[in-house]
Amino acid sequence: MNLNQITLPSKDLGPSVAFYKALGLHLIVEALPRYVRFECPDGDSTLSIHKVDNLPEGEGVVIYFENEDLDNWVIELKQKGINFTEDPETKTWLWREAHLNDPDGNRIILYHAGEHRKNPPWRIN
């Protein structure tokens, strides 16, 4: 099995398109004003966004994007005007993470986990 895509809700796709392009995703489907789809620069996963009248309530999902050079990536994104809710920090679960929200409040975590991404010391087999 392979994860194909994640689809996020948005009340206004325009700001979301600009945001995800700034993160480095490549726009591959543009069916405005209702739907867009991006391809991740590495791997074969995609992210789509569809227009909704009302955003879901509650915490929702968290989308993780991994980059080996996290700290420099965050600096580059800040220079593009991207705001972060948490700067890069090494967590107790051995991942280095930076937190932000997209224009609709969907939570995004940029991270680097290295060998611990799928194989933390506490992994069960």
**Residue-wise pLDDT tens digits, 59-70:** 888 999 999 999
Q: Is 13 helix (H, G, I), strand (E, B) or coil?
A: helix
Domains and CATH numbers, the chain: 5-53+60-116 (3.10.180.10)
Q: Which pTM does this prediction carry?
A: 0.90
CB atoms closer than 10 angstroms to residue 37? 18
Burial of 89 (0-12, 13-18, 19+ CB in 10 A): exposed
**Residue-wise pLDDT tens digits, 69-117:** 999 999 999 999 999 999 999 999 999 999 999 999 999 999 999 999 8
Helix H or strand E segment including 109: strand 107-112
Name the phi and psi angles at 111, rounded to 5.
-150, 165
Rounded distance, CA 58 to CA 94, Å?
Answer: 27
